[in-house]
Amino acid sequence: MTADFQELRVKMVDGQVRTTDVTDADILSALLAIPREEFVPARLRALAYIDEDVQIAEGRPGRFLMRASPFAKLVQLAGVRAGDLVLDVGAGTGYSSAILARIAGFVVALESDAALAGEAGERLAALGCENVSVVEGPLAAGHAAQAPYDVILVEGAVDEVSPELISQLKDGGRLVAVVGEGNSGRATLWLKEDGLVSSRAAFNAAVPALDAFRREPAFEF
């Protein structure tokens, strides 16, 4: 039986997203419009809408399409608005960038994995997402060439956010990431105001880690 992806999209939004206090109409509309199944390996299309992270890089562990609920809550926390320039860090196959592109003015999709970056470019082009540019490079370094950004969204858990990313925020800009792994993960918002950056933890979130942001273990005698 062929899956009715439109119906699954509605069930995802109603059952996974609205129930976790995501109320932003633009986010909900984008989630209903973008075909999530197009951004996972073909053999996993039927699993695209389950309430779990879905692996997107076969043979390369640690790269996932984030569950809809924490992803939507992070976008809502970032307060993405029309006209914003957004840096999507760890864009994977491009799903997150496609969602952001329906809300923001322009999205820079940063991906360190060449194969994933290539897939993202193809899938975003096929959907007509003209306000997204896919760039390849180290995630923790950000993409200074198009900085400063109104919003920086990190697509995975981190031990710490790199100073390079924070330095690429525009005044008035927001950076959102989950700090810590598993049940200890906390969605955190950084704000840059008058040149000063402050942060606050917003809610618990368990999302897959991005290896690029792992803290180097300290040497001990």
The answer, yes or no, to whether residue 1 has pLDDT greater than 50, is no
Q: What is the pLDDT of residues 60-110, one digit of tens each?
A: 656 899 999 999 999 999 999 999 999 999 999 999 999 999 999 999 999
CA distance linking residue 144 with residue 13, whole number of Å: 34
Q: 102: which residues sit within 8 A by CB, 6+ positions away?
A: 26, 29, 30, 33, 34
Q: In the prediction, which pLDDT does 88 show?
A: 98
Q: 198: which residues sit within 8 A by CB, 6+ positions away?
A: 190, 191
The answer, yes or no, to whether residue 127 has pLDDT greater than 50, is yes
Q: In the prediction, which pLDDT does 199 show?
A: 96
Q: In the prediction, which pLDDT does 29 show?
A: 98
CA distance linking residue 71 with residue 96, whole number of Å: 8
Residues in the chain: 221
Average pLDDT over the chain, rounded to an integer: 93
In contact, 40 and 56? CB cutoff 8 Å: yes
Q: In the prediction, which pLDDT does 109 show?
A: 98
Q: What is the pLDDT of residues 193-202, one digit of tens each?
A: 999 999 999 9
The answer, yes or no, to whether residue 14 has pLDDT greater than 60, is yes
First to last CA, the chain: 61
In contact, 176 and 77? CB cutoff 8 Å: yes
- pLDDT class for 28, splitting at 50, 70, 90? very high
Phi and psi of 169, rounded to 5°? -80, 140
In this structure, the number of other CB atoms found within 10 A of the CB of residue 221 comes to 2
